[in-house]
Structures are given as structure tokens and as C-alpha cells.
Amino acid sequence: MTDIITPSRATAKLIDGKAAAAAVDAAAAAGARQLEPRLGRAPCLAVVLVGEDPASQVYVRNKVRRTEAAGMRSVEHILPADISQAELLTVVRALNEDEGVDGILVQLPLPKGLDETEVVQTIRPDKDVDGLTAQSAGALVLGAPGMRPCTPSGSVFLAKQALGDLTGKSVVVIGRSILVGKPAALLFLAENCTVTLAHSRTQDLPAVCREADIIVAAVGRPNMVKGDWLKPGACVIDVGINRVEGENGKSRLVGDVDFEQAIETAGFVTPVPGGVGPMTIAMLLANTVAAAARRASLAVPGPVADVLPG
């Protein structure tokens, strides 16, 4: 925790997502080393990228780099934006049948004209390392073993680094998307927190937030959560990544939380960038190692089991 939590210039301590991600990457690498002799190969992550979206290309490059750095095999399918739905599904089904592939991730968003839901639901649940299939979502609701979504998992990990045991903590999750908000609420509930899932129609949202020990902001609205929305000493997990125009005419990234105000009131804050973002790939790598173990009917290696949410 010492390397992950750092003092800031104001009240709040910063939760260093890069340091936390490096720790999870190391756990994934250790787990991969333990599995490789038993599998007869390294765990493998396959990534499918459709089109030429610059942000997606950068993200995929980072996934490939970190997968290989963790001692795992990386497979990439770079497909044209005008690929048909049928052709894309054929690629996903081929990866489903490839026993040398443990995890499949289709980079979202897909170009217009492609059905994201059908593509994601075509992924075999035991290879669904992004935790987005209906079976994975059902397992999360039931508290059954399965893949958990990466960004919400990373959010829980960072909160635990800041606060330790989360039992009894009051959590407000702002945003009810199926990608972050809903699974984050369930994951914090699994940590024995008392969870409120808030959204755009929540009455007196600032008052609701002031009761929370932990705020998870995942709405996609820059600087929405103000400092006076926060309980003094609260832990703020800012999932938002928004590009806004700076004073010098250059764009910059900001979160859903007004950082400059938050650091005056909160106890712990994730910066943007450098907070939750790096954790998404880290949890993806940990999920891939876990998937490789489960597919071979082996126990998930200890280093990985220790970083994944229960």
C-alpha cells in the first residue's frame, strides 16, 4: 500500500493506479509462470480490433505489450471497419474453438453497423475475460465463480488499497451502465458494503453522495462531482475519462470528479489520468490467467486469486 498511496498537496492522498496496476501485472506474471509447466504452454489472450479508431489502437497496443511482458502469449486480429457481422462472428467462433486461446476480448466500441451485443454474447463464457457475457453477468449476480468485469474489479482493488477491509462501508456508485455502474455496485456489495446505485434521476444526488464513505463516479460527465458533494475523508474512485478543451486551446483529460475541489475534502482520490485506467488492463491479465487455470480444471494461482475480487 505504501507505494500505491501517495501524499498530495492538499488533504487527500492520491491512489496511484499505475503502481497498483504494476502490482497486479506482477501477480498475473507470477500466476502465468506457475501455470505454464502444467498447461504445457503460456496462457493466451486474443484481442480483436475492428477498424482504425486511434484510441482503440493505442489501447490494444498497450494490452499486447503488457500481455507479453507478463510472460503470456498475445494473439491479435486486426480487422477492417467494413467487415460484415457474419465475418466478425466467424473470427470470434474460431477463437472459441482454439484450445490454445484462454481469453477473448473484442475491443469496443465497434464501427457503426455492427451489433456489439451479438458479438460479445458469441464469446464462450469460459473465455470471457472482459466479464460481459450474460453468463458472466448472471454469475456475478448469484455470487457464483466466473469472470468479473475489469474496470469495476480495478475500482474495488483501488478502494481496498486505500481503506483495507471494506466491510460496512457506505458506497455510492454514480452511473448505472452494464459496463461499470451495475457490476461495480455488485462487486462492492460482495465486499459487505452498503451500496446505493445512483444515476441522473436520483433526487438530491449531492446529498446522497455526502453520506458515502466511497464514491465511484462513472457517468461520463466532466467534473460533475463537486467537492461539496463529498463526505470529509471519503475515498473517491473516478472512473470517468473525458476530453475537454484547456485554457491554452489544447485538449486534456479530466474525470467525472472535479479533482481540484475533491482533493480539498476527500481522504483518498484517484487522479485522471493515472488512476482507474491502468487497472483495466491489469485485471484483464489476471482474468486471463484465471481463465487458463479454470479451463484446465486447475486452481487459480495464489498471486492471481489474491488480486481478483471474491
Catalytic residue list: 63, 107, 130
- Coil, strand or helix: which one is 238? strand
- For 193, half-sphere exposure in the C-beta direction (CA atoms, 13 angstrom radius) is 28
Residue 150 phi, psi dihedral angles, 5° rounding: -70, -50
Do the Cβ atoms of 191 and 166 come closer than 8 Å?
yes
Q: Quote the CA–CA distance of 293 and 230 in Å, as a whole number.
A: 41
Cα distances from 245 to residues 170, 250, 253, 304, in angstroms, run: 34, 6, 9, 40
Q: How many CB atoms lie within 10 A of CB 145?
A: 11
The cell numbers describing 287, all together, are 482474468
Do the Cβ atoms of 45 and 303 come closer than 8 Å?
no
- For 23, half-sphere exposure in the C-beta direction (CA atoms, 13 angstrom radius) is 17
In sequence order, what DSSP letters do the residues of 217-237 get, joined into one string? E-S--TT-B-GGGSPTT-EEE
Q: What burial letters (b/e) apply to 2-41, b meaning 16+ CB within 10 Å?
A: eebbeeeeeebbbbbbbbbbbbbbbbbbbbbbbbbeebee
In sequence order, what DSSP letters do the residues of 69-96 get, joined into one string? HTT-EEEEEEE-TT--HHHHHHHHHHHH
